[in-house]
Amino acid sequence: MLGAGILAVLLFESMGSWLLFCLSAGIAAIAGVTSWLSVWYARHGFAKRVADLRESLLYSRTLEKRLHNDHSVDLIERDDVEVLIAKVLRGRTEPGDLPGWAICDIHQIDEVKGLCQGNLRAIDPDAQPAWLCVVGTLFLAGCPVLLVIACLMKMVGLHGV
């Protein structure tokens, strides 16, 4: 759809219609920016979920020590968490393979595992703001409309409008 907007920009420019050229260039640019922002939010959301899972697992791993007012984190505990997260990200965990200290975080583990098993890795589609999806859809839908208008104007012979 974005390609249709770019093609409309080129057609309006070739016809010399500067007002419609600027309008279509603005719409195509906003559509491109909202698409880029959607991907950025989705990747940032995935990274945040993994970071939250890491924090929860580390807390669960050191829970017994924390109950005794020992808030230190050993390197071994941190390594245990990193190994488990690496297994989750590679999809190599089964419910029976989880250590006892990770059972409290099974819901978060399943969410991250589900995101990794989806079509796109490192993407969280739920992290995109609704307003950005609506705005992006509107501007992306405007791109083919502009292309149709540009083609009709080209066929009818309206130039410089």
List, for residues 47-98, the tens digit of each pLDDT value.
898 999 999 998 888 887 777 787 777 788 888 889 889 888 887 777 677 8
Question: What's the rounded mean pLDDT across residues 2-26?
Answer: 90
Task: Give the Cα separation of 14 and 160 in Å (integer).
Answer: 9
In order, the DSSP letters of 75-142 are: HHHHHHHHHHHHHHHHT---GGGS-GGGGGGHHHHHHHHHHHHSSSTT--GGGS-HHHHHHHHHHHHH
What are the extents of the domains in the chain?
A: 2-156
Q: pTM of this prediction?
A: 0.73
